[in-house]
Amino acid sequence: MSEDAPHHFSTATVLLDSRILLTSWVEGRATHRLGILDLHTGQWRVLPGLRGMLRDALALSDQRVLVLTDHALTEIDVTEPEIIRRLTAGIGKYNTYLRREGDDVVAVGNSGAATESLVSLSTMTVSKRRRRGSHLPDTIPEGAARAGAARILHHGPVLLVAATQIRESAPQRLLVLSAEDHAEIASVDFPLGLASAHVVGDGVIAAGPDIGRARALTAMPGLIPRVSDPGSVPLAEVVRTANESAVELRKKGARRNPPRTVYRDRRLEPGHELADVTGRRVTLENCVAARATQRHERPRISRVQITDLELQSSSLNGAVLEDVTVDGLRCPHGSGFLFGCELRRVTLRGRVRGLILNPTLDDPDPATTALYAQWQRERMQDPEWMLDLTEATGDITIRGYPSRFIRRNPELQAVVTAEAAHALDWRAVDPGRSSLRIALHELVRSDWEDVTLIADTHGARASDDLRYIQQLRALGISRAD
């Protein structure tokens, strides 16, 4: 996998008839890919257009495979590869298993649900729903249990492969044992978890629950002295060819989507400053700013210019941002909540997605909360401007930062003062589908001076946002800029 592959997308890895290995991952920001590894040639092929991550698969013929993902049951041709048919209606979401029930019927279900769907392969429709039968876990042989096995991943005539933890995402060890006497042949630690393991050729291919995080499949060749199938290819040869094939795929992908620079698991400590940085296509993943007990020790980000910035599971709460310019910002999965930041000459340009700014910082320690509130009050006495939104568009919410510190675009943004919100009948204005009215409800319940309303011209409610702002201006509720 490329280094900028997104994390936190778990996948199954399925071996079909000892000839094809299937797995999935996410490319770019949210594009699902099905990876098809031919175990005879070592060549990777990639199928786009999936809806969700791989959960299970069944071989229908030499060319056709039935693939179960989070949101669909899909029949694909693995030689092209291409999608032949897809079923979403009636099977529900987040299913985890496929099971043959006959020549024309497969059962689709979730191991944690009470019912499952029976799907006709000839019509690709749900024939009925039924109660799911009980599934007994694999019995762990006594010798394997003594070796630490808690979950059986493969039990064949030569090898028994097991994991030392029940939970896939827990740190654990992969155990490769002799099927005859359960003597240990090899073991590998998986600190990020272990989802599956398959015997391929003369060895084992194992996978963590998150291919994007684990970076790669783990291959352990040479565990079986003699491969019984004369058509099998030694695993070391498959690995070598597969790696070469993967490199070529990454080159093609990089031409379509240039790679991002990803910073993971960084912490900006008290008294530290990130300064004089320029970059493009940057992702911050699991990056945080620490709390300070002295104002001069607040983590600082100064003189930074970034084009195309993405925040993933990151928080810059409480930091000081000074002379920062961001051209294009994306904050998925709630990463755009920035609380208690001190802003000085921060400029946003281009499209912004999912940003919510609030000057207050609620810490579990009441003393820390009070400190940051005091520092915010002191900042309000400084006339230096905080935020420039004149060239920014998108989903931006400002809570509690007074408009006198914000440079605005009057075509897309408007200001309603607390005085106007209490004195004038803004509730009589129909917002349509616009959610901007929520900010006025927050204004009358808070001690804010005013609120800046920002129309999201990229959203499905763009026309309603703009119409609502125009109506507020026409009635004198929003002040003229």
The pLDDT, as a whole number, for residue 441 is 95
Contact between 390 and 407 under an 8 Å Cβ cutoff? The reply is yes
The pLDDT, as a whole number, for residue 287 is 93
DSSP code, position 479 = B
Round to whole Å and give the CA distance between 364 and 258. Answer: 41
The tens place of each residue's pLDDT in the chain, 481 residues long, gives: 666 667 778 899 999 988 899 999 887 667 788 999 999 999 999 998 888 899 999 999 888 999 999 999 999 999 889 999 999 999 989 999 999 998 899 999 998 889 999 999 999 999 999 998 776 777 899 999 999 999 999 999 999 999 999 999 899 999 999 999 999 999 999 998 999 999 998 999 999 988 765 567 899 999 987 655 666 788 999 999 999 998 888 777 666 667 788 888 899 999 999 999 999 999 998 899 999 999 999 999 999 999 999 998 898 999 999 999 999 999 987 889 999 999 999 999 999 999 999 999 999 999 999 999 999 999 999 999 999 999 999 999 999 999 999 999 999 999 999 999 999 999 999 999 999 999 999 999 999 999 999 999 998 899 999 999 999 999 999 986 6
Q: Indicate whether this model's pTM tops 0.85.
A: no
Helix, coil or strand: residue 428? helix
Dump the DSSP string for 109-167.
E-TTSSEEEEEETTTTEEEEEEEPPP-PPPPPPHHHHHTT--EEEEE-SSEEEEES-SS
The pLDDT, as a whole number, for residue 231 is 63
Round to whole Å and give the CA distance between 242 and 1. Answer: 12
Round to whole Å and give the CA distance between 54 and 114. Answer: 22
The pLDDT, as a whole number, for residue 120 is 95
Round to whole Å and give the CA distance between 167 and 153. Answer: 13
* Angle value at C-alpha 47, between 41 and 49, nearest 5 degrees: 175
